[in-house]
Copies of this chain bind each other. A is one copy, B any other.
Amino acid sequence: MSLQSPSQMPLAVNHISVDCVVLGFDGEKLRVLLVKRNGEEDGKVFHDMKLPGGLIYTDENLDDAARRVLRELTGFKNINLLQFKAYGSKDRTKNQKDVHWLERAIQMKVDRIVTIAYIALVRINRSLASASHQHEIGWVPLAEVGELAFDHNIILGDAIDAVRRQAEDDPSYLFDLLPPKFTILQLRTLYERVNGKRQDVRNFQKKVNQLDYVVALDEREQGVAHRAARLYRFDRKMFRRTRR
């Protein structure tokens, strides 16, 4: 701490929140979990969307707060949350609509909110059971995400970059997004969505065949109109062995 007192330079009065970028994959598209926000500005009601998040309580660590917020809003427990960045620009609250909405919600004056952002990858078929029925929450395809509250569009963009980098470091990372049994098409589509570029079909199949930890099953897709494709599973034990 530098020892300047408030008389020399005003210290910021801050609120601290956590925001969670929860990503899922429906076999075709990446989706993000968003909460509907209902507000009123200039006498007009508005509805828009935001990331699941909330202010931290006095007795909570940052990670605890992120887990609690996600549990309250989605019913999700035992989610692997990765803290990836803090956002504290004063521009976060430049939109008066956001400030008024928050001040009404917490019944306190809001100066600045520093938010600590988390990422979680979850299987999209997980059932959403919001602990409180006040919240409408749903999986929105990334391409259909409109203007979000605060700086949540920036946070979402940074989160996708962080997922891409994390997947480059650790190829097992993305398997949390797939069902326990998946097709090569699903796996390839997921890679394309995360990396934002096409994969050559043949090369991708070849690459996967070389991976000991992507195991072909004696099973095929069920109830599909096209020719049923073979199913695969991710073998985490094998993955750990090959990475040593």
Contact = CB atoms under 8 A, between A and B. Distances in A.
Interface of A: 1-7, 9-17, 50, 53-62, 69, 72-73, 83, 85-91, 102, 105-108, 111-112, 114, 116, 132, 134-135, 165, 169
Nearest to A72: B2
A240 to B, nearest CB: 18
Nearest to A51: B1
Contacts of A88: 16, 56, 61-62, 116
B11 A116 contact: no
B56 A11 contact: yes
A54 B4 contact: yes
Contacts of A50: 1
A62 B88 CA distance: 5
Contact of A83 (B10, B86, B106): B86
A107 B60 contact: no
Given A61-B88, A89-B62, A116-B88, A69 B2 contact: yes
24 contacts: A1-B54, A1-B105, A2-B53, A2-B54, A4-B54, A5-B105, A5-B106, A6-B108, A9-B57, A10-B58, A11-B15, A11-B58, A11-B108, A12-B58, A14-B56, A16-B114, A59-B90, A61-B88, A61-B90, A83-B86, A86-B86, A86-B116, A114-B116, A169-B169
Nearest to A108: B6
Contact of A58 (B15, B60, B72, B90): B90
B58 A3 contact: no
Most buried by B among A10, A12, A15, A60: A12
Most buried by B among A1, A53, A102: A1
A60 B131 CA distance: 37
Given A2-B135, A165-B169, 13 more contacts: A1-B53, A2-B54, A2-B73, A3-B134, A11-B15, A11-B57, A11-B58, A14-B56, A16-B88, A61-B88, A61-B89, A61-B90, A114-B116
Most buried by B among A4, A10, A83, A86: A86
A4 B5 CA distance: 33
